[in-house]
Structure 1
Amino acid sequence: MDIEFLGTGAGMPSKQRNTSALVLDLTDENRENWLFDCGEATQHQLLHSHIKPRKITKIFITHLHGDHIFGLPGFLSSRAFLGGETPVDLYGPAGLKEWLAHTYKVTGTHLPYKLNIHEVKDGLILETDEFRVYAKEVQHVIKSYGYRIEQKDLPGTLLIDKAVEKGVPKGPLLQKLKDGHDILLENGTTVYSKEVTTERRRGFTITVIGDTSYCEAAIDLADCADILIHEATFTNEYAKGAKEFGHSTIVEAATIAKLAHVKNLIVNHISARFLPSEMPAFLVEGEAVFPHLSIAEDFMRFQWKNDELTCLSKK
């Protein structure tokens, strides 16, 4: 699983950072890409990324502020011209469906594929063969949700030599055993999956939280996650203003990661008031609370593999 950041700024685009958007590249898990938030010019950012718009099948919107949704109508429209014919499932707060419907009515826009809009509430909002996704309201100046993505447990490794010893022929029966199913051989012998596979492996958990001030809901969403992606709009110097406008400081984001016992924290939604030259000090402030911390920049791509997070590239 890879994470690609398309926009890591706050409020409005700057020369260094576009508005909020990131993609979970789940090609290896289910051949899908999931988009979280879609700020202005997200489709432009995609042109410089590894992500193909037609492969984005699910979109999760944290809240309805413009820097998180103003790129959505354009992206959904352009996706059709870029070969996207499959349905898209869109998740977000109440009001999202009305806003999109009005936008497309006024502009005379027609989508040639099915758009399924799900207005979310706290709890389980999506379950597939591979994943469960939960939403929970966090604390912002308007209704805002964080999302917890849990990969279901993975099959253990098939011990081929043991399976062959038990008389299992090469072919589809081996795959059934690997997938956790017991099989019956032609001679009447039952071969149990647990006898020829290692123990099932725990899947990964990622929590994505958009705009929020420090709150218990964020800690709950992030509980023991492998990766927490959390806004960190300001340094601690601006803590009072951060709370007033429903945002978090880098120290508060790090504190949530620490209290939730996450493995890795990636912060984004950085205010344009902070110049690139100030990012080292910004990082130090957060690392003093939680050492396993990265500050995302536009086009940074992270990979989660073998229970380790690695930064692969940056434009």
Structure 2
Amino acid sequence: MQITFLGTSSGVPTRSRNVSSVALRLPQRAEVWLFDCGEGTQHQIMRSDLKISQINRIFVTHMHGDHVFGLMGLLATCGLAGSPHRIDIYGPPKLEEYLRACGRYSQTHLSYPLHVHTVQPGMVYEDEEFTVSCDRLEHRVPAFGYRIAEKDRPGRFDVEQAKALNIPPGRVYGQLKRGETVTLNDGRVIRGVDLCGDTEAGRKLAYCTDTIFCDGAVALAQGADVLIHEATFSHIDAELAFQRLHSTSTMAAQTALAAQVKLLVMTHFSPRYAPGNDIQLQHLLEEARAIFPNTEMAHDFLTYEIPRRRQPEGEKQAAKV
């Protein structure tokens, strides 16, 4: 699971920051999942190591332009490039209506299937490896945050130990690899968890923008390896944040602290904190770290690989019971 930030500015692009978009690359599946698609996102993808042809899911938080104005252009490019697979888009009400209008008035005809899913709080996608859920955030229009959870994986199966126990290979090995308990023909009961290494805990990512501090964001981020959270304003400009229903750096940090995440990455910064101004982005980072020390600040094309981790021994023992 590799995160690439394609746009980290709020409202409007700047010379160094494009508007909102984050890509989640899943190398084992040759897939890219996109979260928001502000104007110019396809140009950012072309400047990165990502491949437009691998995009097959797009998750939209809300209908403000700095999060959706690049969507139709990207979809059109996918069509002109001869995309062979369908693209699924998930987002709030009116998203499908917006895309239909864009296609109708620009006479854009896509050469591949496009499925638009209107989301509600709860599970929005699941396959054998991942789940994606969403919850409401607090903004001026209907807005949703997303949680991507990788399912736990069994540890490495010890073939040599299985041979030493004279366990016949074949279908039984597959059952034991999945952690199942098997009764052999000779009456012995073998537990798969005893022949597998530590379980690989599934990685978890939360993406929350645009919002003020709210329970929905804390719930989505609970125990996440990485929380990507907007930090449009400095704490000094908290009044502006409340007026516009955006977060300050301290709100982002408070969300991370309440959810007990491992890493907070702030994004969606107001252009008002440009170099040379009294308050700069470094001050926002210092404000957040005073509350949640393990905080980083995103910039365009920042790439971060979410590391795998072994399930703690206590959790593994509990799973055996």
Tell me the TM-score normalized by structure 2.
Answer: 0.89
* Matches for 1:2-81 after TM superposition, within 5 Å: 2-28=2-28, 30-81=29-80
1:267 aligns with 2:266: yes
> Which 5+ residue runs of structure 2 have no aligned equivalent?
311-321
* Matches for 1:195-274 after TM superposition, within 5 Å: 195-274=194-273
Following superposition, the deviation at residue 170 of structure 1 comes to 7.4
Q: 2:175, 2:80 → 1: CA distance?
A: 40
Match of 1:291 in 2: 293
Q: What is the DSSP-based 3-state SS (H/G/I as helix, E as strand, rest coil) of the residue aligned with 1:266?
A: strand
Q: What is the DSSP-based 3-state SS (H/G/I as helix, E as strand, rest coil) of the residue aligned with 2:23?
A: strand
Q: Is the 8 A contact 1:166 1:191 kept in 2?
A: no
Q: 1:175, 1:34 → 2: CA distance?
A: 31
Q: 1:107, 1:169 → 2: CA distance?
A: 64
Q: What is the DSSP-based 3-state SS (H/G/I as helix, E as strand, rest coil) of the residue aligned with 2:149?
A: strand
Following superposition, the deviation at residue 10 of structure 1 comes to 0.2
RMSD: 2.2
Following superposition, the deviation at residue 161 of structure 1 comes to 1.6
Per-residue CA deviation, residues 253-308 of structure 1 (Å, 9 max, x unaligned), is 00111111111100100011112572322211110010000100000000111349
Per-residue CA deviation, residues 106-158 of structure 1 (Å, 9 max, x unaligned), is 11111111111100011111111111111111100000000111111111121
Q: Is the 8 A contact 2:39 2:68 kept in 1?
A: yes
Runs of 4+ in structure 1 deviating by more than 6 angstroms, as ranges, are: 169-173, 182-190
Identity %: 38
Q: Is the 8 A contact 2:32 2:56 kept in 1?
A: yes
Q: 1:161, 1:54 → 2: CA distance?
A: 42
What amino acid is aligned across from residue 255 of structure 2 in structure 1? I
> Which 5+ residue runs of structure 1 have no aligned equivalent?
309-315
Match of 2:140 in 1: 141
Following superposition, the deviation at residue 209 of structure 1 comes to 0.6
Q: 2:168, 2:48 → 1: CA distance?
A: 44
Tell me the TM-score normalized by structure 1.
Answer: 0.90
Following superposition, the deviation at residue 61 of structure 1 comes to 0.1
Q: What is the DSSP-based 3-state SS (H/G/I as helix, E as strand, rest coil) of the residue aligned with 1:91?
A: strand
For the structure 1 residues 54 and 184, does the alpha-carbon distance in structure 2 shift closer, same or farther, using more than 3 Å as the test? farther
Q: What is the DSSP-based 3-state SS (H/G/I as helix, E as strand, rest coil) of the residue aligned with 2:273?
A: coil
Q: 1:178, 1:55 → 2: CA distance?
A: 31
Following superposition, the deviation at residue 237 of structure 1 comes to 1.2
Q: 1:280, 1:75 → 2: CA distance?
A: 33
Q: 2:187, 2:84 → 1: CA distance?
A: 47
Q: 1:231, 1:213 → 2: CA distance?
A: 9
Q: 1:296, 1:178 → 2: CA distance?
A: 39
What amino acid is aligned across from residue 20 of structure 2 in structure 1? S
Q: Is the 8 A contact 2:10 2:271 kept in 1?
A: yes
What amino acid is aligned across from residue 130 of structure 2 in structure 1? F
1:194 aligns with 2:193: yes
Q: Is the 8 A contact 2:200 2:308 kept in 1?
A: no
Q: Is the 8 A contact 1:138 1:217 kept in 2?
A: yes
